[in-house]
């Protein structure tokens, strides 16, 4: 492989990896196989370049060390050792092993693929266009009843955007701030009232779109992103406040402008919260907690929840919290526990949960460094996008599932690649994409 790679110049390999990276958002939207292939190409080219240059300094970064330790523990807990009950070699070990590709992908973006402003702008544009596509298709579905592919609203009232099932809200809720914060700040910085009104309108449109999509966590994270952005960027505060207020007004108006959205965001949420322990999410979390406590040191390995959740031994409630026994018919079992941290606990016990928390903190710290002094708009947006993804109090998909984690690792790689202020310097490369 090394001899073959030498036939191509380093710049050719880097440009090839950049093209593959820019195709990942398209794959995440409409062709997961394409996304997997492009991530694999980027990883292979990056590792080949590292081998040629004998430069593996990136493995010594705190975040990668934390990621490697967590991943290693997860793999160890998934191996069917004597006395371990796991999902086995194919469903468990093989799928846990390939998680490392996502960490290598983030390191490749940080250390090689996105080392120029032009490359970073290109990836930001790809993310922004993805959010624009989701937003446009959501509005088309809201106004006409179907998206460009003829798909209607989902049965629960959610808008599906360009997808056939309700995936739009989650992606939009995490990536929206990355796509919109830069242009909003550019508009607000222009002289003249018209530009400022345009900036406020764009921020408000982003929030209202998320409300109309009608998925709880997506809407919550969109509003949360506006609040955090306003706290970190003083010039944004009036616009963020107005956008937040208009989004809330849209929510209050949903009984008139979008009754299915009101039924989903307000009616169903109120019902779930009133009897949370008997809601599908409460059933899931109770069942997963009991599973984790039954094997607190090494869990049940990757995919252990999927394989063993239906067993009767995990059907008891939590008497100390007055939580009744769970029922599979009420939603106690699913493909995963619908929370990253609960998933980490079930998969790898308390050590796995602790390592996962440390990993997320190292990611946030790496993205945070220099933000408070520099106030770089893109870095603030990427930090917020990552924060929403790993926020602990949330209903989530499976952590390594590419259709969501792919967006996270794109944002993470871009955020790690953007220069930051070091403690002993005063210069900052400020980018507005």
Residue 411 lies in a domain: yes
Compute the distance between CA of residue 14 and CA of residue 144 in angstroms, rounded to an integer: 43
- Coil vs helix vs strand at 146: strand
Residue 63 lies in a domain: no
Residue 238 lies in a domain: yes
Q: What is the DSSP string of 268-295?
A: IHHHHHHTGGGSHHHHHHHHHHHHHHHS
Q: How confident is the model at residue 277, as a pLDDT? A: 79
Please give the mean pLDDT across all residues of the chain. 92
Q: Nearest-CA neighbor of 212 among 246, 184, 177?
A: 246
Residue 376 lies in a domain: yes
Residue 302 lies in a domain: no
Summarised one tens digit per residue, pLDDT across range 81-140 is: 888 878 788 888 999 999 999 999 999 999 999 999 999 999 999 999 999 999 999 999
Residue 321 lies in a domain: no
Residue 429: band (very low, low, confident or very high) from pLDDT cuts 50, 70, 90: very low
Distances 107 to 39, 99, 229, 408, 417 between C-alpha atoms, Å:
12, 14, 26, 13, 9
| Cross-strand partners of 152 | 146
Residue 69 lies in a domain: no
Q: How confident is the model at residue 30, as a pLDDT? A: 96
Q: How confident is the model at residue 86, as a pLDDT? A: 84
Residues 6+ apart with CB under 8 A from 385: 174, 175, 177, 178, 225, 408, 411, 415
Higher pLDDT, 346 or 373: 346
Q: How confident is the model at residue 84, as a pLDDT? A: 82
Instruction: Report the domain count for the chain.
Output: 1
Compute the distance between CA of residue 1 and CA of residue 310 in angstroms, rounded to an integer: 46
| Cross-strand partners of 318 | 323
Tell whether the model's pLDDT for residue 430 goes beyond 70. Answer: no
Residue 31 lies in a domain: yes
Q: How confident is the model at residue 420, as a pLDDT? A: 55
> Can you give the residue range of the structural domain that contains 18?
2-55+99-272+369-417
Residues 6+ apart with CB under 8 A from 252: none
């Amino acid at each position: 492989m090394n001899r073959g790679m030498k036939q191509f110049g380093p710049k050719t390999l880097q440009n090839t990896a950049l093209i593959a990276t820019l195709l990942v958002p398209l794959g995440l939207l409409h062709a997961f196989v394409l996304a997997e292939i492009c991530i694999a190409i980027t990883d292979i080219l990056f590792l080949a370049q590292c081998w040629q240059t004998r430069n593996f300094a990136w493995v010594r970064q705190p975040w990668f060390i934390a990621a490697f330790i967590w991943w290693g523990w997860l793999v160890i807990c998934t191996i069917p050792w004597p006395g371990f009950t796991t999902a086995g070699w194919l469903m468990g070990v093989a799928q846990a092993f390939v998680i490392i590709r996502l960490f290598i992908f983030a390191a490749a973006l940080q250390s090689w693929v996105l080392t120029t402003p032009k490359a970073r702008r290109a990836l930001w544009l790809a993310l922004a266009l993805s959010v624009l596509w989701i937003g446009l298709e959501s509005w088309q579905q809201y106004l006409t009843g179907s998206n460009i592919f003829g798909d209607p609203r989902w049965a629960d009232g959610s808008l599906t955007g360009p997808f056939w099932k309700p995936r739009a809200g989650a992606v939009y809720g995490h990536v929206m701030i990355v796509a919109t914060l830069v242009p909003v700040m550019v508009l607000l910085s222009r002289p003249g009232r018209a530009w400022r009104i345009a900036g406020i309108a764009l921020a408000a449109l982003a929030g209202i779109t998320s409300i109309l999509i009608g998925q709880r966590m997506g809407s919550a994270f969109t509003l949360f992103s506006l609040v955090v952005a306003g706290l970190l960027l003083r010039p944004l505060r009036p616009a963020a406040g107005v956008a937040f207020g208009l989004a809330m007004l849209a929510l209050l108006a949903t009984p008139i402008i979008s009754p299915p959205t009101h039924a989903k965001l307000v009616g169903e949420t109120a019902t779930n919260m009133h009897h949370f322990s008997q809601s599908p999410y409460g059933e899931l979390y109770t069942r997963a907690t009991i599973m984790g406590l039954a094997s607190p040191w090494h869990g049940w390995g990757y995919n252990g929840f999927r394989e063993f959740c239906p067993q009767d031994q995990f059907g008891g409630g939590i008497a100390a919290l007055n939580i009744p026994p769970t029922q599979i018919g009420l939603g106690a079992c699913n493909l995963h526990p619908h929370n990253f941290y609960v998933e980490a606990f079930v998969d790898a016990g308390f050590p796995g949960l602790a390592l996962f928390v440390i990993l997320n903190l190292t990611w946030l710290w790496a993205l945070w460094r220099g933000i408070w002094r520099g106030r770089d708009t893109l870095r603030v947006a990427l930090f917020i996008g990552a924060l929403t993804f790993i926020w602990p109090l949330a209903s989530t998909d499976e952590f390594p599932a590419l259709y969501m984690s792919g967006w996270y690792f794109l944002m993470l790689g871009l955020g790690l690649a953007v220069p930051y202020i070091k403690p002993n310097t005063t210069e900052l490369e400020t980018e507005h994409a």
